Structure 1
Amino acid sequence: MNEHITRQLREAAEAHRPDRARILARVERGAAGPPVRHRAPSFVRSWPRAALAGLATAGVLATGGLAVAGIVRTPPPSDTVTTAPASPLPTKNPSPTVTPSPTPSAAPGTVAPLPVPAPATTTPGSPRPTPSASSRPVNGSLWSEGSIDSHSTVYWAQHNLVLKTTQPLTSLTVELRIAQTGEVRDTGNWRTLPSEDFTVTVQESGGVLVYRWVLKPGRTVPVGQHEFAGQFNHATGVRSAANDSYRVDAQSVGGPASVWGGFGPAG
């Protein structure tokens, strides 16, 4: 029995001619797709049939495997290593640049006058002294000096009059005369003597802006140095004070006295 089976297997193996193309196709399909699961042979099959089939299959595979080994070669593993690109570091946003806003320049304007006592009330004009073209700063008990205040600008000016007396005055009239040189306008006036002792007027007449202080009846100006000032705007530019003047008329126990003059740069 065994010899018979062995002879049949040998004859079948010698007569077998493998289909090389078919074997290669099956190998390629097997490599491309998932392996096909074969149903396990039934145990109810007879042993001779199963053994014969098994031997035949082994022979086919042995013969076909030799043929396939010469044709199909497994490619060598690649040495190239693929890595994921490195994530770029987050770019730090530059800090915003703070631009200071440009500071606006102060527009030129009228320079504020120096602090002065409460402004006097303007009243109707009183008799004024008659100015003279010549200058007489000293007379009897009186001494005087006119000057342009150092705080004056190209838009605004202040004229100062310093008056000194060596005797008490029972009558006093002080007058500052500012020539109208263009846009001359009153902006204030003051004196170092009590404001309630004087009647003050400010008016423009004949092209001249006139400041006048008149001592009220029954009041007295004490011995010492006293100051009077007139403030005004004028046309832009350096203003000439050549035609500006002052005059003072006073009465003391020694008799009447008058002084007059002009305004020069402050000493």
Structure 2
Amino acid sequence: MKDEELAGRLREAAGAHSPDRARMLARIERGMAGEPAAGAVRPPRAARPWLRVAGATVAVCGVLAAGALAVTSAGDDGGARAGRVAAAPASPSSTAKAPAAPGGLRPEDGPLWTGGVVDPHSNPYWAQSNVTLRTTEPLSALTVELRVAETGGLDSTGSWRSLPEPDFTVSVNESGGYLVYRWTLRPGRTVPAGTHTFAGQYNHAEGDRDATGDYVTAHAVRASGAEAAVGDRFGRSR
């Protein structure tokens, strides 16, 4: 076949060729979806840049997720540790509860007044509770009662009063959670008008003793026959 004849046939074949548009679009869609065309060889991973981008995105998301998980875990662990912290055990002295003084105590009634304080010369092992009693009229009967709350290690070491010793009977005993000092005026004796002192002394557990549970009461009969009753809690500010 001559060259001129071959070239002519090739031109005829090219002119008669019509491209299959639908087939070409299908091949393009398969390529975008990552599916190889029939008979085609899948390109190596290094030749697919879109896959590298997607892989990098996944890696970044993985790092962020791991960081968020670490922060969340640390926060949860801290909260759990805080919840597991045990409260410090209370000291024995803080658990001792003194009995409450009765309500309705009033320090003044008519000519009679009383007040109670801890002597400033008390120390971490020993204390003295001072009771002051004032009366503007003579008293024909009187009972003064000092109650020291049991806060640990109480042991009486004595008592005294500014009035004559033979005029009173004195007793000390434990009752209802208190160390109780009681001074009672003997029959036929009289308490003159004025300011008088009664004091109870005792050892106690080492440390500063809480006297807020202590109180004093006094019951008296005036020379006129009228009665009077007063009381006061220790630790009250003045």
TM-score normalised by L of structure 2: 0.55
Residue 266 (structure 1) shift: 8.9
For 1:132 and 1:146, how far apart are their aligned partners in 2?
A: 15
For 1:133 and 1:236, how far apart are their aligned partners in 2?
A: 30
Which residue of the partner structure matches residue 231 of structure 2?
A: 260
Q: Does 1:154 align with 2:124?
A: yes
Q: Deviations over 1:40-87 (max 9, x none)?
A: xxxxxxxxxxxxxxxxxxxxxxxxxxxxxxxxxxxxxxxxxxxxxxxx
| Stretches of structure 1 lacking an aligned partner (at least 5 in a row) | 1-130
8 Å Cα contact 1:145-1:261 kept in structure 2: yes
Counterparts in 2 of 1:161-180, with a 5 A limit? 161-180=131-150
| TM-aligned CA distance change 1:258 to 1:265, over 3 Å | closer
Q: Does 1:184 align with 2:157?
A: no
8 Å Cα contact 1:155-1:236 kept in structure 2: yes
Which residue of the partner structure matches residue 242 of structure 1?
A: 212
Provide the aligned length of Structure 1 versus Structure 2: 137
SS of structure 1 residue aligned to 2:144? strand
For 2:103 and 2:151, how far apart are their aligned partners in 1?
A: 18
Counterparts in 2 of 1:63-212, with a 5 A limit? 132-212=102-182
8 Å Cα contact 1:145-1:163 kept in structure 2: yes
More helix per residue: 1 or 2? 2
Q: Does 1:228 align with 2:204?
A: no
* % identity of equivalent residues: 53
Which residue of the partner structure matches residue 11 of structure 2?
A: none
Q: Deviations over 1:181-220 (max 9, x none)?
A: 1100001100000010001000112221000000000000
RMSD: 1.5
TM-score normalised by L of structure 1: 0.49
SS of structure 2 residue aligned to 1:151? coil
Matched residue type, 1:159: S
8 Å Cα contact 1:148-1:266 kept in structure 2: no
8 Å Cα contact 2:170-2:181 kept in structure 1: yes
Q: Which has the larger radius of gyration?
A: 1
8 Å Cα contact 2:115-2:216 kept in structure 1: no
Q: Does 1:215 align with 2:193?
A: no
